[in-house]
A and B are shown apart, each in its own frame.
Chain A
């Protein structure tokens, strides 16, 4: 069966440290993988997109890696800040015959303490 797995346990991290989140998937072949931030009671906000032929993508303090052999993406928040506290979702795209039909993981909650 198809699965997208993110660590269900909250990640508690001290301010200034690097938070690393994982997204593993099985029985998918996504052309793209996206990461979103979701705050309680709000819709997701797009952060980064990485293509299947890209190994790494960066945007400010964020870094994403994509290993299609391992079927895994890692999401890093460097120099974390309390404002980074949220739930982070990974989403697969290009897995069906229609682009944009995202398949989401359940998300990992990040809590950054001062």
Chain B
């Protein structure tokens, strides 16, 4: 149980295009999903917190108009990188907190999406 999937697992796009990444909780409902970004040899950096049915809250320094987050259902959150540039190339990872979490800080991570912008 407690499986989180991401699609696609990797994507290559041209500079200036938009890319959508999906994060799904497969066997549980998630009231909250988190989006992280990880550059090589660096730590995961939290980008935003997504609550079902409400607007995402973004961490300081993360452009909300560039990284659009939609959490339309209890099992799906999407991250759209708009007008992608090479510096957006990174590993994007989501995590999901179960609606019926045993502890408030329980969350499960997806496998990540490797984005390469040419």
Contacts and interface: CB of A to CB of B under 8 A. Distances in A.
A100 B97 CA distance: 8
A102 interface: yes
Of listed B6, B44, B109, residue having the most chain A CB within 10 A: B44
B49 A98 contact: yes
Given A41-B112, A100-B34, A89 B49 contact: no
B41 A43 contact: no
B114 A104 contact: no
The range of chain B's interface size is: 20 to 34
Contact of A43 (B32, B49, B104, B112): B112
Given A43-B112, A44-B93, A106 B43 contact: yes
B42 A42 contact: no
B54 interface: no
A43 B43 contact: no
Given A44-B93, A106-B41, A101 B46 contact: yes
10 contacts: A4-B43, A32-B105, A43-B4, A45-B109, A89-B44, A98-B49, A100-B104, A100-B107, A104-B36, A104-B44
Given A44-B93, A49-B103, A100-B104, 10 more contacts: A8-B41, A41-B114, A100-B105, A101-B34, A101-B46, A102-B46, A102-B107, A103-B46, A104-B36, A104-B45
Interface of B: 4, 6, 32, 34, 36, 41-46, 49, 91, 93, 95, 97, 103-105, 107-112, 114
